[in-house]
Structure formats: structure tokens, C-alpha cells
Chain A
Amino acid sequence: MSFNRDSLVALSLILASGSLMLASLEIREPDYGVLSPAAWPRLILIILGGLSVVYLLQSIRMPKKNKDDVPRKSIGEFILYWRNVIAVFSIFALYLIALPYLGMLIGNILFSFILLTVLGGWRGILMHLLVALGASGGMWLLFTFALEVFLPRGSLTGL
């Protein structure tokens, strides 16, 4: 028997199901209709909760791994291991926050340039700039003029 990362995920799922079940109490009950609007999500949450309990039990029953088999990672090693993923998440979140101010054209060029440089390193910076300009600019032209989609303009850039 062991408490592992699967057990943690299962516990999180049980907590999430419980919290959402509580949130379902806030759903207004209308005087009409046969099936209450809360009934279907509650049914799903009960199933989800039940499955999460099974998952928890399964994870606990899993044979304990030898400590030597599982190398423990320090926070530094963890960040190093996941650095690309963390970089993509962070840059994408910043891009989304800045999008209303920069607009899609400038925002996308900056996003792709920064992401390319962070993932690929400084050596290819000129190529990254060209790719960012070509890909983001090309897509902006395609969507704006060929597909006639109104892409957001930035409140700061006006583009």
C-alpha cells in the first residue's frame, strides 16, 4: 500500500466533485420542465465522485515502489525538466493578458518571436524574427482579407 501521485489526483478529483456538487445547490429550480437543470450534472458528479473513490483505492493498493527506483527531483530539477512547458504556459498567459492592449497582429508577432527565442535560444534570433513576422503577418492577412474575420485591434497600438 502506498500514497502516490495517483492518490493525490484521485483526492483532488473527489474534492472537485464535492465542491461542484455544493455549487450545484445554487442552480435555480424552475417551476416548469420535467428534468431539473441540476439533475444531470449531479448525476455526472455522483458518478465522477464514485469513480474517483475507486481510483483512489486502486492507487493506494498499488505496490509501493522502491524509493531508489524513483529519483526525487528538487524544485530546481523539476523546473529544469518542465522548463519548456512552463515557458509556453507563462508566455501564452502573458500574451492573453496583453492581447487587448497590443492587438492580434502585434501580439502574435511578439508572442511567436519570444516563444521561438525562449525555446530555440538566442542563436537563431534573426530566423525567429523572420518566422514570427512571416507566420503571424501571413495569418493576419489571410484571416483579415481572405476570410474577412475582424481580428482584435490593440487599445495601445491601434493595430
Chain B
Amino acid sequence: MDIFLEALLNIIDPVTLIYMIIGVGAGLMAGSIPGFTIAMAIVLTLPFTFSMPPAQGLATMISVLVGGLSGGLMSGILTGIPGTPSSVATTFDGFPMARAGEPGLALGIGVWSSFCGGIISAILLVLFAPQLAMVGLEFQPWDFFMLVMFALTVTASLAGEHLVKGLIAGAAGLFIRTVGEDDAVGVGRFDFGSDYLLTGFDFIAVLIGLFAFSQLLSDLRNPVTARNALSDRKQVRVKIEHRRAIGILLKNWTVVIRSALIGMFTGILPGAGGSIANILSYDQAKKAAKDDSKFGKGDPRGIIAPEASNNAVEGGALTPLMALGIPGDITAAIMLGALLMHDIVPGPTFIKDEPALAYSIYIAFFLASFIMIGMQSGVLRVFVLVTRIKTYVLATVILTFATIGVFALHNSIEDIWTLFFFGILGFIMRQFGFPLAPMILGVVLGNIAELNLARALAIDSDPMLFFVRPWSLFFAIIAVFSMVFPIYQKHRETGSVLERFFSPLVLLCLSLPLFMMGGFLRTTLAVAAIAISSFILWRRFGSGWKA
């Protein structure tokens, strides 16, 4: 109780509250402007939080995150252009509803769905993170190393057809982190005689370059659109209809809960974020509807599902971060960066060792959702003003801001060169179709992987232990299957061997480490996996090996 009070006092401190309000406002704006992503907003917030106490810094970043997740719906509903990839599906029904003369109701449904999604995932975060951390206590260095590899391969596999490019990006990210002094023995690597390279690239400058700078360059590429404003609306007279929206949400509470759960689960998976969750939950809402004829024409369920799920994603993404030190998505990876900046290394003992900070994160997550509701109407007016600013003006101001922010990290001009260099690299990668998410995860997790590899080999030099220990084998199996998954997807419905055997094989293989782990629950899960796998094979055999 004392710890909870300490955390509460950290967050309700007036200065922290002011930062949180500014954070939610900035997040709402960033989320609402197409082309300016939430990750970019959070990464640009990082330099500000450097001088803050950890709880205050994290609360500010969480506020930007919660604001950003909700901001995307404004432009999606009012202009038909989603502010972020997380709110693509919101436009399917939000924009038609707004055009049909109900913009206030559409916004109200969106705002309250976001709120509910956020609160549900915050509750689940509080419940699940400590449980997952308890599982994480079983992990040894071999398992952590394989967990990082799994996180990278899953993120790379999301590149679908471009799996190889995703894996290359992940490996490049791991390599970038090796430049400079080796953490274990302090030997310089790839410094080429430069003192700056010897200290290694500052990974926050790398993240801002890769993500923010390269994104701004992409926004400015076309000279015509760069000179355009997002919208030429002079003003918008919309009053958010809170009461009606809450009524509709209560009627569709199953959609809210189902979508929040989809969002939460998607968030837990490394690399899979709001961009996937919102489409997935929209699709599920449509499939579950008795009458889906109004979907795409302004059905409230078409707004509830994506907005509840995209806000729930972050609770999911923060769960493995807080419990295992492994981020669930790019924004959580940046949060990990913020923690590392304050010399806090999250892991299974994080919640136990830093309970006040863990509670501060929970409280900030809840509080930010309430602040978001309060600020939505006010920000709507500012949004209309911001959308009238020309893209090149906005991009130049943000670039200038990023430059000062990066300098402020270590008072070093070399960090701005890092920003510049990785900005160019990120832009080129975007142009050639390389996904940036695996690279960013590689940069953030590179040290953790190397450290655990060194620890594992120091305990026992036998490399086979990476494949015979239950948890490391478990992660190795999922890593391999995640790499095969894009090929499986490509061959679905073609009747290929891979299509017939993929899912039973995954279950069979996973049952092995589950058996090795022992205990009643895991053995039961292993037996269930074998039973389901056998059932699928028997059915396919019965239907002449057709899926």
C-alpha cells in the first residue's frame, strides 16, 4: 500500500500532471496528423524526459502514447484520411457516419471506445504483467537470448513477402549496436580510430534518425504534396456527443470487450501493433454481426471495434516489456530505451525490484486515458488549425526540434551527425522496401542478446543448450515457424504440403518443450496440443488431405 501511495504521489504531482496533459495533447495532435506517427511523437519526447525523474519521464511518454492512439480517429473520421495506421479501419465507418451528418456521434463513439479499450488493457496489464514476470523468473540466459531472436524473427515475418528484407533489417539493427566498446570486456569494436565510434552510436539518436527523420523525408519527397496542407477546412463545428455515444457503447459491450482482448493479445506479440489489431478486430466485429449490411456505411460497431482494439494494444505491448524486458512493439521499444536511459533494466525482477516505478506506469496509463477524454474536444479545434499548416512547414519545424532534442541527450554535435546518417539510412531502407521495425528492435535488443549469449557461454560453453532447454527450445520453435509463416500464408488455399501440415506441426513441435517443462498445467497443455494436432490431421486425412 505504501508503494502504491508513493507511485500515486509521483504521478499526481502537479508538475507530472502538467507534463501528462501536455503529453496527451501532443500525442492527440501527432496521432491526428497523417504522416506523423505515434512512434515519431514518442521518440521525439525522449530527449525531454532525459532530465526528468524516471516516473515522471515515463508518465509523460505514456501520455503521448495514449493521446497518439486516440488522435488518429479525428482525422480518420473528419477527413477520411487515417491519422495513424492504427486507425485505418476507423475510417471505414467513421467517415461515412460523419458524412451522413453525424460527425459528433462518430467522434464520441471513437473517443469512448478508445477510452474503454485503454482502461480494459490497463486492467489486464496490472493483472497479467506480474504473472508473466513470475514465468520470466524461470528464464536463464539461454532462454533470454532465444526470446530476443524470437522477437526479431516474428517482427521480420510481419514483412510478409519481404521476410528476407525484414531479417536483414533485424540483423543490421543488431550489428549497429555492436559498434563501440564491448560491454563485457571494454574492447573497442569497429571504431576505425574514431573516439565517437568508440563510445558507440547513441541509440536514441539512431531511433530518431531511423524513424522520425526518414519519415519526414518521405513526407517531403513530393514537391506538390509537400506544399499542400492536410485540409483546407476553415473551421469545424462539431460537438462530440458523449451521452449518445456511451449509450451505443453500452449496447455493444461485447464488441468493446472482444476488440480490447484482440488488441491486448496482438500487443503482446512482438512486432504486431495497432495497425494489425484495428483491422483484425474490425473484421471480427463484422463476422460476428448478425446483420453486417451496414458495415462500411456508418455502422457504430465499425468504429467501436478498431478504436477499442488499437488503444488496448499498448497495454499488451507493455506487458512483456514490464515482465520480461522485451518490448511488444516499436513504441514499447522506445519506452525500453527511456528506461535504459535512466539506468533501469526491465526484466522478470523489474516489478519486484522497482515496484514504485511499475505502479507509476500502471497509474499513468489509467490517468492518461481520463485526461484524453477531457482533452479530446479542445484538441479538436487545434487539430483543425494544425491541418491548415503546410506539410513542409510542419516538417521543417519538427526536424529543427528533433535536432535540438538529439543534441540535448549528451550535449554532443556528433549525436546530430548520427541522426543525419541514420535518417538517410532509414529513408533509403523505406525506398527499397525494408521494414524499419525489425531494425529498431535489433538496435534496442542487441545488447540484451549479446549479454545473455556471453552469460550463457560463461555458465556452460555447450551451444546445444540453446536447443535443449525447454524455454529456449520453445522460443526457437516459434522463431522457426514464424519465419515459415509468410511462406505458409502465400501457399494457403493451394493445397500444398505446407498448408496441410503447418498448424498440426506447430502444435506437435510445441508440445515437446511443454512436456519438458513439466508440471500439471504445462503437461496438460502439451497433451491438448497433441490431441488438437491429431484431430486436425485425422480430419484432413478424412477429407482426402484437403485443408
Chain A contact residues, CB within 8 Å of chain B: 5-6, 9, 13, 20, 23-24, 27-28, 30, 32-35, 37-38, 40-41, 44-45, 47-48, 51-52, 54-55, 58, 82-85, 88-89, 92-93, 96, 99-100, 104, 108, 111-112, 115-116, 119-121, 131, 135-136, 139-140, 143, 147-152
Query: In the bound complex, do residue B396 and residue A96 qualify as a contact, i.e. CB atoms below 8 Å apart?
Result: no
Interface of A: prevailing SS: helix
Query: In the bound complex, do residue B413 and residue A100 qualify as a contact, i.e. CB atoms below 8 Å apart?
Result: yes
A77 to B222 Cα, complex, angstroms: 13
Known: A96-B416, A139-B404. A88 touches B220 (CB 8 A): yes
Query: In the bound complex, do residue A35 and residue B454 qualify as a contact, i.e. CB atoms below 8 Å apart?
Result: yes
Give the Cβ gap from A117 to chain B, nearest Cβ, in Å: 10
Chain B residue at minimal CB-CB distance from A8: B432
Q: Is there a chain A Cβ closer than 8 Å to B223's Cβ?
A: yes
Query: In the bound complex, do residue B217 and residue A120 qualify as a contact, i.e. CB atoms below 8 Å apart?
Result: no
Residues of B within 8 A of A51 (CB): 164, 167-168, 171
Query: In the bound complex, do residue A139 and residue B223 qualify as a contact, i.e. CB atoms below 8 Å apart?
Result: no
Known: A30-B185, A120-B390. A93 touches B190 (CB 8 A): no
Give the Cβ gap from B323 to chain A, nearest Cβ, in Å: 26
Residues of B within 8 A of A85 (CB): 217, 220-221, 427
A13 to B395 Cα, complex, angstroms: 31
Q: Is there a chain A Cβ closer than 8 Å to B188's Cβ?
A: yes
B453 touches which of A28, A35, A88, A143 (Cβ 8 Å): A35
Query: In the bound complex, do residue B172 and residue A48 qualify as a contact, i.e. CB atoms below 8 Å apart?
Result: yes
> 1/0 per position for B395-417, CB-CB distance to A under 8 A?
11101110110011001010011
Residues of B within 8 A of A119 (CB): 220, 223, 226-227, 392, 395-396
A99 to B403 Cα, complex, angstroms: 11
Query: In the bound complex, do residue A5 and residue B400 qualify as a contact, i.e. CB atoms below 8 Å apart?
Result: no
A2 to B504 Cα, complex, angstroms: 38
Q: Is there a chain A Cβ closer than 8 Å to B420's Cβ?
A: yes
A52 to B424 Cα, complex, angstroms: 20
Q: Can you list the 9 inter-chain pairs with the closest CB atoms, starting with the nearest?
A: A37-B182, A119-B392, A35-B454, A37-B187, A41-B178, A48-B171, A34-B458, A149-B408, A33-B185
Query: In the bound complex, do residue A41 and residue B413 qualify as a contact, i.e. CB atoms below 8 Å apart?
Result: no
Query: In the bound complex, do residue B187 and residue A136 qualify as a contact, i.e. CB atoms below 8 Å apart?
Result: no
Residues of A within 8 A of B223 (CB): 83-84, 119
A148 to B289 Cα, complex, angstroms: 56
Residues of A within 8 A of B172 (CB): 48
Known: A104-B407, A119-B220. A20 touches B175 (CB 8 A): yes
A96 to B241 Cα, complex, angstroms: 50
Known: A33-B185, A41-B175, A51-B168. A131 touches B220 (CB 8 A): no
Known: A20-B190, A34-B461, A148-B51. A44 touches B164 (CB 8 A): no
Query: In the bound complex, do residue A54 and residue B393 qualify as a contact, i.e. CB atoms below 8 Å apart?
Result: no
Query: In the bound complex, do residue A48 and residue B175 qualify as a contact, i.e. CB atoms below 8 Å apart?
Result: yes
Query: In the bound complex, do residue B392 and residue A116 qualify as a contact, i.e. CB atoms below 8 Å apart?
Result: yes
A-B contact pairs, 25 of them (CB 8 A): A6-B432, A27-B187, A28-B187, A28-B188, A33-B454, A35-B453, A35-B454, A37-B185, A51-B168, A51-B171, A52-B168, A85-B217, A96-B417, A96-B420, A99-B416, A116-B396, A119-B396, A131-B396, A136-B400, A143-B404, A143-B408, A147-B51, A148-B51, A152-B407, A152-B411
Query: In the bound complex, do residue B408 and residue A44 qualify as a contact, i.e. CB atoms below 8 Å apart?
Result: no
Residues of B within 8 A of A52 (CB): 168
> 1/0 per position for B137-170, CB-CB distance to A under 8 A?
0000000000000000000000000001101100
> 1/0 per position for B180-208, CB-CB distance to A under 8 A?
00101101111010000000000000000
Known A-B contacts: A54-B164, A104-B404, A120-B392. Give 4 more (CB < 8 A).
A28-B188, A35-B457, A37-B189, A88-B217
Residues of B within 8 A of A33 (CB): 184-185, 454
Query: In the bound complex, do residue A40 and residue B432 qualify as a contact, i.e. CB atoms below 8 Å apart?
Result: no
Known: A23-B192, A139-B404. A115 touches B164 (CB 8 A): no
Give the Cβ gap from A103 to chain B, nearest Cβ, in Å: 11
Residues of B within 8 A of A27 (CB): 187-190
Residues of A within 8 A of B424 (CB): 89
Q: Is there a chain A Cβ closer than 8 Å to B450's Cβ?
A: yes
Residues of A within 8 A of B178 (CB): 40-41, 44
A104 to B189 Cα, complex, angstroms: 32
Query: In the bound complex, do residue B188 and residue A45 qualify as a contact, i.e. CB atoms below 8 Å apart?
Result: no
Q: Is there a chain A Cβ closer than 8 Å to B89's Cβ?
A: no
Give the Cβ gap from B409 to chain A, nearest Cβ, in Å: 9
A52 to B167 Cα, complex, angstroms: 10
Residues of A within 8 A of B392 (CB): 116, 119-120
Query: In the bound complex, do residue A131 and residue B393 qualify as a contact, i.e. CB atoms below 8 Å apart?
Result: yes
A150 to B413 Cα, complex, angstroms: 12
Give the Cβ gap from B218 to chain A, nearest Cβ, in Å: 9
A13 to B217 Cα, complex, angstroms: 23
Query: In the bound complex, do residue B171 and residue A112 qualify as a contact, i.e. CB atoms below 8 Å apart?
Result: no
Chain A residue at minimal CB-CB distance from B412: A152
Query: In the bound complex, do residue B48 and residue A147 qualify as a contact, i.e. CB atoms below 8 Å apart?
Result: yes
A6 to B216 Cα, complex, angstroms: 24
Q: Is there a chain A Cβ closer than 8 Å to B174's Cβ?
A: yes
Residues of B within 8 A of A37 (CB): 182, 184-185, 187, 189
A24 to B188 Cα, complex, angstroms: 10
A142 to B192 Cα, complex, angstroms: 37
A56 to B178 Cα, complex, angstroms: 25
Chain A residue at minimal CB-CB distance from B392: A119
Residues of A within 8 A of B168 (CB): 13, 48, 51-52, 55
A29 to B508 Cα, complex, angstroms: 44
Residues of B within 8 A of A96 (CB): 413, 416-417, 420
Give the Cβ gap from B452 to chain A, nearest Cβ, in Å: 11
A99 to B392 Cα, complex, angstroms: 22
Residues of B within 8 A of A84 (CB): 220-223, 226
Chain A residue at minimal CB-CB distance from B460: A34
Give the Cβ gap from A35 to chain B, nearest Cβ, in Å: 4
Query: In the bound complex, do residue A44 and residue B189 qualify as a contact, i.e. CB atoms below 8 Å apart?
Result: no
Residues of A within 8 A of B174 (CB): 44
8 A Cβ contacts from B209-230 to A: 216-217, 220-223, 226-227
